[in-house]
């Protein structure tokens, strides 16, 4: 019986938290802009969603990078033993 294959997608709570923050932080802004374009408003003004995206973008990117690095380090360290 062979051991279970390691997941192809990095499995880290940091990565999941970063992706969730990115989606929940920038998603409303993208949806508001898309709805504005679909309704014919060429200049939507979603200030609150823009501030939310601004405050969550870089922390989410940092968490994603931490998750990728920890996944790679864990994969390298545990694959040698």
For 6, 16, 26, 46, the CA distances from 75, given in Å and listed in that order, are 9, 17, 30, 42
Question: What predicted TM-score, i.e. pTM, was given to this entire model?
Answer: 0.79
| pLDDT for res 81 | 55
Q: Over the chain, what is the mean pLDDT?
A: 87
- Which residue is listed with tokens 């864990």? 74
- Residues whose CB is less than 8 angstroms from the CB of residue 68 and which lie 6 or more positions away in sequence, other chains included: 10, 12, 15
- Which one-letter DSSP state was computed for residue 14? H
pLDDT in tens, 3-15: 666 666 677 899 9
* Separation of CA 12 from chain center: 12
Question: Is-contact 72 15, C-beta < 8 A?
Answer: no
């Amino acid at each position: 019986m062979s051991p279970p294959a390691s997941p192809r997608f990095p499995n880290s709570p940091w990565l999941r938290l970063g992706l969730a923050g990115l989606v929940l932080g920038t998603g409303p802004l993208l949806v508001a802009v898309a709805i504005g374009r679909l309704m014919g408003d060429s200049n939507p003004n979603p200030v609150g969603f823009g501030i939310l995206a601004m405050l969550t973008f870089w922390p989410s990117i940092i968490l994603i990078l931490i998750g990728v690095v920890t996944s790679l380090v864990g994969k390298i360290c545990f694959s040698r033993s």
